[in-house]
Chain A
């Protein structure tokens, strides 16, 4: 099963996604949480803490700057760019752009 959470800023997307992820994990499911937000805070809501949340984003950033190799497949992506969050949820940040790039308004 794949779930996507969308909504207006501040409506509770991240909080809802984290709660759903951990609830499924507690029920025995193997859960991958993907943070696709350009302002990625899912790690915070999963209970991972700020340092680890920012570490994942820094790794994603290093990829963009060519300091990291891309993962060739989803399993390696989760392995190399992911981290273990509470209740066994595996979290990966799959989008984060730190610097606004001119060219696209």
Chain B
């Protein structure tokens, strides 16, 4: 999940993760944004449980590979078991890269995070990642393992421009396998058409402008808990079904 700051990445990612879990999947929700937000949207409140420093070690001089790695003996699956926290609907939540005054732990946890995502088995858990906002580095490190990158686009002038920049970035070396748009805060069909035309991306879902989402965000709770029957939840539920179906038909196809 990528997009401009405030486009609604966390709200959609949190809802999507829980809906996928309700559909029977084992889901790992990952917040890689130094500004935490996903835990609130999952309905977890404020959580401060990043990958601890002691889970990461510096690569000895001469060993091939990245500068930091998971402590030897600690596998990706074990790291998730040990350091992810339980969120509603059985979602597991892992927080990466929380910036706490000093940049070094942030860098260490980012290396650990990449290794975990690389080494987790491809079929399970289903990973929903909430990436940092903006257009600077969203694909870096993610493009190679994400099946689908969803660009959350708000149909405002700044939102559309940011969406287009992200679509353009995806043409570079860090090209994700599949890049689609999710239009958010949509008021009418022209909004959806604008997102499609301006980003050049397929619009996989159009989440309507919904006061229920705004209210939930204000209260710092999940829209799934605050307004389970809202239009926004219905659209994210369809999105989850669609992603699951496509995934299944792709597995059959290959």
Rounded to whole Å, the gap between the CB of A43 and the closest CB of chain B is: 9
Q: Is A72 an interface residue (CB 8 A)?
A: no
Assuming the A-B contacts A100-B139, A105-B107, are A39 and B162 also in contact, with contact meaning beta carbons closer than 8 angstroms in the complex? yes
Bound Cα distance A37, B97 (Å): 20
Closest to A41 in B: B158
Q: Is the interface of A mostly helix, strand, loop or mixed?
A: loop
Total A-B residue pairs with C-beta atoms closer than 8 Å?
65
Rounded to whole Å, the gap between the CB of B188 and the closest CB of chain A is: 21
Partner of A44, one of B107, B136, B161: B161
Chain B residues within 8 Å of A38, by CB: 134-136
Residues from 1 to 45 in A contacting B, C-beta threshold 8 Å: 8-11, 14, 37-39, 41, 44-45
Partner of A39, one of B4, B107, B157, B173: B4
Task: Bin the interface of chain B by size.
Answer: 20 to 34
Q: Evaluate contact between B6 and A9: CB separation under 8 angstroms.
A: yes
Residues from 128 to 161 in B contacting A, C-beta threshold 8 Å: 133-141, 157-158, 161
Task: Bin the interface of chain A by size.
Answer: 20 to 34
Chain B residues within 8 Å of A105, by CB: 97, 107, 110-111, 114, 140-141
List 10 A-B pairs, minimum CB-CB distance, nearest first.
Answer: A10-B6, A9-B5, A9-B133, A38-B136, A105-B110, A100-B137, A100-B140, A39-B135, A41-B158, A39-B134
